[in-house]
Amino acid sequence: MGQAAAQSPGYYAARMAVIVLSVLIVVALAALVVGLIYRSRTAPDAAAPATQADYSLPRNAEIVAMQSQPQRVILHLETPEGAEIVILDSGTGRLVRRIRTAP
């Protein structure tokens, strides 16, 4: 490359862009390393201990289907009176809602 090309404004701008972007890459990698070190040193929150929750099914009821969602257990029951859906809190076993079909 000639001396005249090295002094042109376009060459100078490209050279500055390369330098600035190189510095940004180094800073980003340093931030990534610091973040990884920070996360590895801080202990994650301990999960809540498992607790036992009891729920008694209605007499002669059968579980047809079951679904789980965050903090909820949904049971589809078939009882002698008809079908019903029971929604329970998965942490406490507390009955949240009972939906019965009309006879």
Q: pLDDT of 6-56, one tens digit each?
A: 678 888 999 999 999 999 999 999 999 999 999 888 877 666 666 777 778
Q: Which residues are bridge partners to 65 per DSSP?
A: 76
Q: What is the mean pLDDT of the chain?
A: 86
Distances in whole angstroms, Cα of residue 75 to Cα of each of 3, 31, 35, 37: 81, 48, 43, 45
Indicate the DSSP class of residue 32. Answer: H
pTM of the complete model beyond 0.75: no
Residue holding tokens 């070190």?
Answer: 37
CA angle, residues 92, 95, 99, in degrees to nearest 5: 150
Look at residue 93 in the predicted model and tell me its pLDDT.
82
Domain limits, the chain: 3-41, 62-100
Indicate the DSSP class of residue 22. Answer: H
